[in-house]
């Protein structure tokens, strides 16, 4: 009887060995299944879309700096000059900040002749369109200016940021483009699908659906120079054709040239990564959050209680169009309490430019006065020596 009991009872050593055996067998089986699943997933995804797989692209770009050239087109009007000075000031302040990939800077001046900012801002002079060709729409000179600049200038950087005079950098800007995919800002008022009949005049069906056209303008856009060299002539030609077509001109108005760039890009098979954090546009965007640029194209009108009165001149206002003949005054007042952070920040940044420009001017004048004083002292000393010797 005792012998039967000992035979039916497993030894502790046997149970331990059995348990270890089951554990390793299970582990190997699970590992094999996971490995097989991963291999199947890789087989199902032969290509990776960099637009939808941004985290992977960002990881691949880590550690490799990809500088871009900042370029802005401008006229020689006082209205354009003061905005360019503000923009260039904040470019210099942000260029060497942490995370910045901002390279050189060029103001492409499409007036055909030098102006007073040549020594202050790096400038490349190009010709305007022939007289009358812009039909009073000066922005048509923009794509033509880019065509000339790309053909004639020496540009060291592989990438280009197309910016505008009314852009203020609020943070150091990294290169948001990824390889052949440019980065652009989605404008709420650029809606190709709502104008498909007009779009088809310039974007034929064989080129694909209208949804292939991104809801962007040409600025802000970070793009490879090689891509822009192909797009720019098409952009220029479409802009001119659109302006010549009454229906298109009436439908697109002041954003006609923006639609032209979006269509030209699609014709060349170029699609953009849409970055809403690229910039904000006060007064519609209230907070800075993680944006890089403030675009001050809209007027900002408020009551003294901080209430927006858009479309009606406010008790407090800032509108760049109020300063057609020169920059805002040095004593530009801050907005009243309750006005959004975006507007307050913009005004403070404009004040900072004016303050530093004034201090620079005072410093220069002080240096001139000091040099004049020394000169006077030397003259007095020489006169004293002459009379003494005499």
The whole-number pLDDT of residue 33 equals 37
Q: Report strand pairing: 68-74 vs 159-163.
A: parallel
CA distance 66 to 78: 34
- Model confidence over 305-338: pLDDT tens digits? 999 998 899 999 999 999 999 999 988 999 999 9
The pLDDT of 270-297, averaged and rounded, is 97
More confident residue, 193 or 378: 193
Distance between start and end Cα atoms, the chain = 147
- Model confidence over 111-168: pLDDT tens digits? 999 999 999 999 999 999 999 999 989 999 999 999 999 999 999 999 999 999 999 9
Residues in Cβ contact with 363 at an 8 Å cutoff, skipping those fewer than 6 apart: none
CA distance 189 to 382: 72
The whole-number pLDDT of residue 77 equals 97
b/e code 347-377 from CB counts within 10 Å (16+ = b): bebbbebbeeeeeeeeeeeeeeeeeeeeeee
Is the pLDDT at 49 greater than 90? The verdict is: no
CA separation (Å) from 179 to 160, 234, 270? Answer: 13, 22, 12
CA distance 351 to 334: 9
Q: Give the helix, strand, coil percentages of the chain, each rounded to 5.
A: 50, 10, 40
CA distance 32 to 45: 20
C-alpha 182: how far from its chain's center?
11
Phi, psi dihedrals of residue 308, rounded to the nearest 5°: -70, 135
The whole-number pLDDT of residue 330 equals 87
Burial class (CB in 10 A: 0-12, 13-18, 19+), 223: buried
The full length of the chain comes to 390
Is the pLDDT at 20 greater than 90? The verdict is: no
Q: Report strand pairing: 273-274 vs 167-169.
A: unpaired
């Amino acid at each position: 009887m005792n012998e039967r009991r000992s035979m039916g009872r497993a030894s502790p050593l046997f149970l331990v060995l059995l348990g270890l055996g089951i554990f390793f067998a299970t582990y190997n089986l699970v590992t094999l299944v996971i490995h097989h699943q991963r291999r199947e997933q890789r087989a199902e995804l032969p290509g990776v879309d960099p637009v939808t797989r941004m985290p992977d692209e960002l990881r691949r770009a880590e550690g490799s700096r990809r500088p871009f050239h900042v370029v802005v087109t401008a006229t020689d009007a006082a209205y354009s000059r003061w905005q360019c000075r503000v923009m260039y000031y904040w470019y210099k302040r942000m260029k060497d900040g942490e995370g910045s990939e901002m390279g050189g800077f060029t103001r492409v001046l499409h007036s055909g002749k030098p102006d007073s900012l040549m020594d202050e801002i790096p400038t490349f002079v190009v010709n305007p369109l022939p007289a009358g060709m812009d039909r009073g729409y000066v922005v048509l000179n923009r794509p033509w200016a880019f065509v000339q600049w790309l053909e004639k200038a020496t540009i060291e950087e592989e990438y280009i940021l197309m910016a505008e005079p009314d852009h203020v950098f609020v943070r150091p800007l990294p290169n948001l483009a990824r390889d052949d995919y440019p980065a652009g800002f989605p404008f709420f008022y650029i809606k190709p699908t709502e104008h498909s009949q007009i779009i088809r005049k310039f974007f034929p069906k064989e080129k694909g659906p209208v949804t292939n056209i991104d809801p962007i303008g040409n600025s802000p856009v970070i793009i490879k120079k090689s891509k822009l060299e192909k797009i720019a002539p098409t952009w220029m030609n479409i802009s001119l054709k659109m302006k010549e077509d009454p229906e298109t001109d009436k439908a697109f108005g002041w954003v006609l040239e923006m639609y032209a760039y979006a269509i030209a890009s699609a014709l060349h098979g170029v699609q953009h990564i849409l970055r809403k954090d690229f910039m904000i546009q006060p007064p519609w965007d209230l907070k800075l959050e993680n944006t890089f640029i403030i675009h001050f194209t809209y007027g900002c009108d408020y009551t003294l209680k901080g209430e927006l009165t858009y479309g009606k001149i406010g008790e407090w206002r800032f509108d760049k169009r109020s300063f057609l003949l020169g920059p805002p005054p040095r004593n530009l007042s801050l907005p009243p309490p309750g006005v959004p952070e975006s507007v307050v920040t913009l005004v403070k940044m404009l004040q900072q430019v004016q303050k530093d420009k004034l201090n620079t001017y005072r410093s220069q004048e002080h240096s001139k006065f000091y040099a004049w004083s020394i000169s006077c002292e030397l003259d007095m000393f020489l006169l004293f020596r002459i009379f003494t010797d005499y």
